[in-house]
Amino acid sequence: MRSLRVRPRVDSATVPRGLPPPELQELLAAPNPCVIATIRPDGELHTAATWYEWPGDGTVVVNMDGSRRRLGHMRADPRVSLTVLDGQRWYRHVSLSGRVREIRRDPALEDIDRIARRYTGGDYRRRERDSWTAVIDVERWHAWDGGRDLTKT
């Protein structure tokens, strides 16, 4: 039988609040892979890959089609987490936890086009879409690079 090594639980009191340091904000400002976690009505987690935007003001902007389950989850429970992976070194990542401040329609596709240009260089290709934007207030963050905790730098 294989034994599992249990890592110590992260105490939320030790997870930093406020903006991450400039070198981590650079990582967040780049079009890197991201996974968002929302909470389902039964309390279980739901994760999905997503594009995002980091305006640098302590918020994250995401956009999704109206049919996406995470949109309903955000409406029911605003708590979310995102993990942004360094596209060049996946062992380097920043995780952000917060609450959805605003959910709004994106009928002219302005938000999704802006986010798509970060990732593809062009506007979002599917023009017939029920587009919705969520603005997330980041409350806490933590970061790792390999085995090194970047919250303590």
Q: Establish if 8 belongs to a structural domain.
A: no
Q: Establish if 11 belongs to a structural domain.
A: no
Q: Establish if 6 belongs to a structural domain.
A: no
pLDDT tens readout for residues 113-130: 999 999 999 999 988 999
Q: Establish if 35 belongs to a structural domain.
A: yes
> Region 75-103: what's the mean pLDDT?
96
Q: At 116, which CATH number?
A: 2.30.110.10
pLDDT score, position 3: 54
pLDDT score, position 12: 53
Tell me: pLDDT of 11 over 70: no
pTM, 2 dp: 0.88
Segments forming the whole domain that contains residue 89: 17-152
Report how far residue 84's alpha carbon sits from residue 74's, in angstroms, rounded to the nearest whole number: 19
> Region 69-83: what's the mean pLDDT?
97
- Domain count for the chain, please give it: 1
Q: Which of 52, 58, 20, 23 is nearest to 35 (CA)?
A: 52
Q: Establish if 37 belongs to a structural domain.
A: yes
pLDDT band at 149, cuts 50/70/90?
Answer: confident
CA distances from 65 to 44, 123, 135, 144 (A): 22, 15, 15, 31
Are 50 and 38 in contact, with CB atoms under 8 Å apart?
no
